Amino acid sequence: MVKELAERLGKVESIVVESKQVESTPNMERCVQSSASVIEPKGKESLMLGNKVKLCDMEGHPVANAIIMSLDKSKMVMGKSLGEEYYEVVILFAYKPNAPLFVKDNERKTIQDAVGSHIVWFRDFVELDDT
């Protein structure tokens, strides 16, 4: 299982390296943002694709490190359309492995269950990772 996760992480990292044509974004002060200003000013959201982010819980505490994989509002992930509410992310590292996911499925209920896989996360609970 560890070898499989390491292979998945390697694949994700190669995707990130390939998609690093984006500019760096100013640091965000809070983890929870209003949906009109999540991470990027309006009109620059597409620059977030491939960026490393922190996923936060309902209290605004970081629970995982992830990469934004899709901003396509019509895309379906975990049975949900991304729409205006979600980003598609892949979790790289769990800060709080037992933290629950916002959207669960049969195999993934906690952050740890989702490491290395694509999930949806509320846009309002995503923060640019400046580390």
| pTM confidence score | 0.66
Whole-angstrom distance, CA of residue 12 vs CA of residue 86: 20
Q: Is 71 exposed, middle or buried (0-12, 13-18, 19+ CB in 10 A)?
A: middle
Nearest to 121 by CA among 26, 10, 83: 83
Domain extents in the chain: 47-130
Say yes or no to pLDDT of 1 above 90: no
pLDDT tens-digit series, residues 16-44? 444 333 333 333 334 544 443 344 444 45
pLDDT for res 58: 94
Confidence (pLDDT) at 130: 79
Question: Which residue shows structure tokens 């995982």?
Answer: 64
67-99 pLDDT, tens per residue? 999 989 999 999 999 999 999 999 999 999 999
Q: Please tell me the predicted confidence (pLDDT) of residue 8.
A: 58
For residues 117 and 50, what is the distance between their CA atoms, to the nearest angstrom? 15
Would the pLDDT of 7 be above 90? no
Q: What is the pLDDT of residues 92-124, one digit of tens each?
A: 999 999 999 999 999 999 999 999 999 999 999
**What secondary structure does DSSP assign to 82-130, as a single string?**
-TTTEEEEEEEEESSTTPBPSS--SS--BHHHHBTSEEEEEGGGEEE--
